[in-house]
Structure 1
Amino acid sequence: MDYKYLLLVLSLSVILILSTAQHENIPYEDVPDICAKCVCLTAHDTDKRYHHLLSCTSKKFQHILARWPEEFGKKHDNVDIVATFSGNNIELLQQLPATNATLTFSCRHCGIKYLQAPTFMDVPFIRRLDLSWNEIASDELTPDVFRGPYRVTHYESIALVDLDLSHNQLHALDRKIFEHTANLTKLNLSYNEFRVLNAPTISALSSATELQELDLSHTAIKSLSAAIFKSLVNLRILNLSGNDLTSVPDKLQLIGRSLVSLNLAQNPIARFTEESFIGLKSLQRLNISYMPVLKTIGKSVFTRLETLKRLDCSHNPKLVEFDLESLTHSSNLTNFDISYCALTTISLFVNVTQESHTDIATLAKPWPHLHTFQSIGNPWYCDCDLIQTMEYIGTEGDTKINQARCDTPYFLAGALVSNLSSQYICNLKIPKQYKAILEEPPRFLRKRYIILTVIVAAVVISVGVMLGFAIAAIRRRLKRDDFGVEPIRYTSVRSSNLSAFSQGNTNSIIVNGNGVANASA
């Protein structure tokens, strides 16, 4: 037993020696006076905790530094270090220089393709890591990248809390990628071409049980497995915008007690129903904007969202139906945006009688804490019901109508909704259906002139045809009667002389002095 244990220790020692030698062979950036090349700042707070900043942004570095600046001191206990190498040409991210400080490290827009594992072994207290806007592929992102120092029988976890891997070339995750990041609470995987979350990726996400924020926006996914949410009981913020979801994932209710913010913007969802947000008992912020095919927000959609505080439903060009009645259950609503949609009306069915229009202002508001109401960019039909609803929502104090204007009826087109009162509008007789004529057509396109032109053209054509027939008939009649004149017959002189000569009557031929023969009578 002792022999096997000793063999294991020797093997691990060899691995550590080889890995150390491998790191030593990789060059680091040779900068003798780092604070002369980069920006070094130091400050301390009232608790005598030191905060160091190292900014080497856009210095044309090809590697990171081998050690921290001497100005930061040798002992980094009770110290925060913020280091950024963004904007350099670092194709290989090497092992970070050792420190016991609480570290925030950023290397964005560096062209990183390779990660030298274990990249963060000597910085066990790294808390925030930003590797976005690089070229990291799935094969390069292995569990060993995040492993911490080795302690007797296992590798310890690093203190990583916030990880940003957005805008890379990931299409899947290793199922054990987060086994050394037990404290991870914020994960950004946006703008990676996952398309389908395969089994290893689902296992990886579900293993990060402490996650509170997850960003899967713009990853081209079409669905989400329920297995992801079963263990994410602490998830509070979920961003699914910019994907190909055609409905709300039906298993979101598994995190209904913890989820406070949900972003579904820019998804091809055509309709929200009563079952869309079922079980989301703690939801406070909902974004359903920029949806290209959204047409209907049906009845009772928001009935169960009693804790909702912010609703963003703007820039939905095909949205024509919005059930405002169900939103009254969200009595804590503070921000409400339905701007730039295709809504012509919204109604709370106030049912105020003609004699009590002035009492609308005294009614209890549906959302007493509402301070922002955006409704600009809709083709509002300003009838009695709409103006009553707007007044009931409230247009005084900090509430903003945001310069919404009427589109119809034509005599109110362009009028500010906030300038109209239900007492005035409800006394007007507005046609139920009215087709606005934007501009009077030219005279030759008007109906009566078109009809008159056709009649005149028909008469002219008919007269012309009749005259043509009459002239043709007259010509035929005259030709048949030879115009009443005997035809003249002509005979040449030569033919007459020859005729007389042929009959032997030579006395009748007389030759004149010019040698021309003339026939005598």
Structure 2
Amino acid sequence: MYAHNYKITIVCLKVRHRKFYNFAMKYLLSFSCILVLSAAQHENIPYQDVSDICGTCVCLTAHDNDKRYHHLLSCTTKKFKHILARWPEEFGKSHDSVDIVATFSGNSIELLQQLPATNATLTFSCRHCGIKYLQAPTFMDVPYIRRLDLSWNEITSDELTPDVFRGPYRVTDYEPIALTDLDLSHNRLHALDRNLFEHTPNLTKLNLSYNELKVLNMPTVLALASATELQELDLSHTAIKTLTMSVFKTLVNLRILNLSGNDLTRVPDKLQLIGGSLISLNLAENPIERFTEESFVGLKSLQRLNISYMPMLKTVGKNAFSSLETLRRLYCAHNPRLQEFDVESLTHSCNLTNLDISHCALTSISLIVNVGNDSSAALTALAKPWPHLHTFKTVGNPWFCDCALIQTMEYIGGQPESRQDMQARCDAPYFLAGVLLSNLTSPYICNLKIPKKYKAIVEEPPRFLRKRYIVLTVITAAVVVSVGVLLGFVIAAIRRRLKRDDFGVEPIRYTSVRSSNLSAFSHGNTNSILVNGNGAATSSA
């Protein structure tokens, strides 16, 4: 019984051992095949010749005070079609505690191959190379790559997969790479893989500008939301119309957001989700028509705001900037339809240093200043609303230079431009048109009595264009023409009468005898014809 059970156990163990052995052999064989295929694939793709590469490219080496070596390899515009298989020998064999900056920009590299292995901290640039394909994993042998610039290429969404950024394999998983700065601008991306950044957990700066994203679909939103360490995000000129709150929900470290050049008609909702960290917001070149009190609510850390070059912007409404207490720089220039700007709401931004409202359609701005007509000394004594303001640009607006405007300008202060063509000028009233605002003072303007409406003074036209002379000319011409026509009729009538009467004389008629006799004979009047003795015929009297 026991012997029988023992035999059965031995048989089972042998079967299990054989199965395990077969599984292990199959696994090893598959893994070996993968390695061989990958190695063969890696070797079959040609690389650029490395021999005398420092004679073809620029190789520079320097070291800092900590004896850390910095190597530069510049192979720009060398008509390369491939990158190098290894780093130059001049960089040494060991790259520990070494920085390498390599650029292959301006070449014709259609396929970006795996970068040559190094343990150095790497900065790699391959701009304007016409890259269409990426050999995944492209950066497996450079785990310490920090900055990567692949802008101005032809990379598509299908080619940009998570495996491109896969690091070296360790035990049970792929290790991440150290990438922090990624520039993919000016490519052909229309969406992102939802797991695109799973191997780049340290990514802090991402540039996706000038890609036709148009709509941020769910995979793209998930990809952006997964990069939780992002501090700078550039989505400018991507033709997007909206941004959902899902994008910002996890980006709690975002400091700089560029949304310029898109089709946004309003400030994206839920920006307050990143209000604690966001310090710079660029909304320029969007078709937004107005900013209201709710537009920038919750952006309690914002220091720089750009709302310039907006073709549709008409109004910056009341209290639009009231919540921006930390604002330092405001750029609201080149908005051709902007006629209303609430400068009063900026008084909450005590640390404002730069204010640009140039080249808009503003005729006036005003702050509440109660100093009376003789205001120069009083305005000087008043505390400035922005004591740190050193740049205040107002040129290019059709300013109506009345008392309120000049008082506001003096109260705000700021250094005027040194060049006169860069200084603001009055557009109205007419007797101040073209005068520099910096040359006007509030006592002078406030004591002027400027009528609300002006009657335009029309200069008298030349004499030949005056109304009375035109009328006299028409009458004279009519009289001359009438007299001429009348004289013509009279002369024609006289000539016709004289021709008919032949001037009162009867004309003499001449008839020959021959013609007379023949005429009588032809009419049969023979009695009037006499024959003389000589036989000649004569007519009777």
In the superposition, the TM-score normalised over structure 1's length comes to 0.87
Size of the aligned set, in residue pairs, is: 512
* CA 1:352–1:220: 2 relative to 1, 3 Å: same
- RMSD of Structure 2 on Structure 1 (CA): 3.5
Which secondary structure does the structure 2 equivalent of 1:325 belong to? helix
Contact 1:370 1:399 in 2 (8 A): no
Contact 1:290 1:316 in 2 (8 A): yes
Deviates more, 1:115-124 or 1:28-37: 28-37
CA distance in 1, matches of 2:215, 2:113: 31
CA distance in 2, matches of 1:118, 1:140: 12
Once the two structures are TM-superposed, the CA of residue 132 in structure 1 deviates from its matched residue by 0.8
CA distance in 1, matches of 2:27, 2:472: 109
CA distance in 1, matches of 2:302, 2:144: 33
Contact 1:268 1:293 in 2 (8 A): yes
Contact 2:391 2:414 in 1 (8 A): no
Q: Pick from 437, 441, 457: which aligns with 2:474?
A: 457
Are residues 1:232 and 2:238 paired?
Answer: no
CA distance in 2, matches of 1:44, 1:100: 17
CA distance in 2, matches of 1:379, 1:520: 119
What residue is the counterpart of 2:278 in the other structure?
A: 259
Contact 2:417 2:423 in 1 (8 A): no
Q: Please tell me the residue identity of whatever aligns with 1:206.
A: A
What residue is the counterpart of 2:228 in the other structure?
A: 209
* CA 1:356–1:417: 2 relative to 1, 3 Å: closer
Contact 2:464 2:470 in 1 (8 A): no
* CA 1:478–1:155: 2 relative to 1, 3 Å: same
What residue is the counterpart of 2:366 in the other structure?
A: 347
Q: Pick from 438, 441, 459: which aligns with 1:421?
A: 441
* CA 1:408–1:87: 2 relative to 1, 3 Å: same
CA distance in 2, matches of 1:436, 1:110: 63
Deviates more, 1:118-127 or 1:247-256: 247-256
Which secondary structure does the structure 1 equivalent of 2:158 belong to? helix
Q: Please tell me the residue identity of whatever aligns with 1:406.
A: C
Are residues 1:194 and 2:213 paired?
Answer: yes
What residue is the counterpart of 2:121 in the other structure?
A: 102
Once the two structures are TM-superposed, the CA of residue 127 in structure 1 deviates from its matched residue by 0.6
* CA 1:411–1:497: 2 relative to 1, 3 Å: farther
Larger radius of gyration: 2
Which secondary structure does the structure 2 equivalent of 1:453 belong to? helix
Contact 2:290 2:314 in 1 (8 A): yes
CA distance in 1, matches of 2:166, 2:186: 23
Once the two structures are TM-superposed, the CA of residue 491 in structure 1 deviates from its matched residue by 7.5
Q: Pick from 171, 184, 198: which aligns with 1:152?
A: 171
Q: Please tell me the residue identity of whatever aligns with 2:428.
A: T
Which secondary structure does the structure 2 equivalent of 1:140 belong to? coil
What residue is the counterpart of 1:93 in the other structure?
A: 112
CA distance in 1, matches of 2:407, 2:35: 75
Q: Please tell me the residue identity of whatever aligns with 1:147.
A: R
CA distance in 2, matches of 1:172, 1:227: 16
What residue is the counterpart of 1:330 in the other structure?
A: 349
CA distance in 2, matches of 1:159, 1:328: 44
Q: Deviations over 1:323-353 (max 9, x none)?
A: 1111111111101111111222211132431
What residue is the counterpart of 2:8 in the other structure?
A: none
Q: Please tell me the residue identity of whatever aligns with 1:410.
A: Y
What residue is the counterpart of 2:73 in the other structure?
A: 54
* CA 1:229–1:497: 2 relative to 1, 3 Å: farther
Q: Please tell me the residue identity of whatever aligns with 1:106.
A: S
* CA 1:474–1:15: 2 relative to 1, 3 Å: same
CA distance in 2, matches of 1:497, 1:431: 112
CA distance in 1, matches of 2:50, 2:280: 45
Deviates more, 1:311-320 or 1:158-167: 311-320
* CA 1:354–1:500: 2 relative to 1, 3 Å: same
Q: Please tell me the residue identity of whatever aligns with 1:414.
A: G
Q: Please tell me the residue identity of whatever aligns with 1:221.
A: I
Q: Please tell me the residue identity of whatever aligns with 2:343.
A: L
Contact 2:50 2:88 in 1 (8 A): no
* CA 1:140–1:382: 2 relative to 1, 3 Å: same
Are residues 1:432 and 2:449 paired?
Answer: no
What residue is the counterpart of 1:38 in the other structure?
A: 57
What residue is the counterpart of 2:45 in the other structure?
A: 26
What residue is the counterpart of 1:412 in the other structure?
A: 432
Are residues 1:182 and 2:227 paired?
Answer: no
Identical positions, percent: 70
* CA 1:460–1:165: 2 relative to 1, 3 Å: same
CA distance in 2, matches of 1:411, 1:496: 106
CA distance in 2, matches of 1:346, 1:114: 55
Contact 2:391 2:415 in 1 (8 A): no
**Which runs of 5 or more residues in structure 2 are unaligned?**
1-15, 532-536
What residue is the counterpart of 1:513 in the other structure?
A: none
What residue is the counterpart of 1:504 in the other structure?
A: 525
Q: Please tell me the residue identity of whatever aligns with 1:176.
A: N
In the superposition, the TM-score normalised over structure 2's length comes to 0.84
**Which runs of 5 or more residues in structure 1 are unaligned?**
511-516
Q: Please tell me the residue identity of whatever aligns with 1:370.
A: L
Which secondary structure does the structure 1 equivalent of 2:123 belong to? strand
* CA 1:207–1:396: 2 relative to 1, 3 Å: closer
* CA 1:405–1:68: 2 relative to 1, 3 Å: same
* CA 1:201–1:504: 2 relative to 1, 3 Å: same
Once the two structures are TM-superposed, the CA of residue 357 in structure 1 deviates from its matched residue by 4.3
What residue is the counterpart of 2:322 in the other structure?
A: 303
Contact 1:371 1:398 in 2 (8 A): no
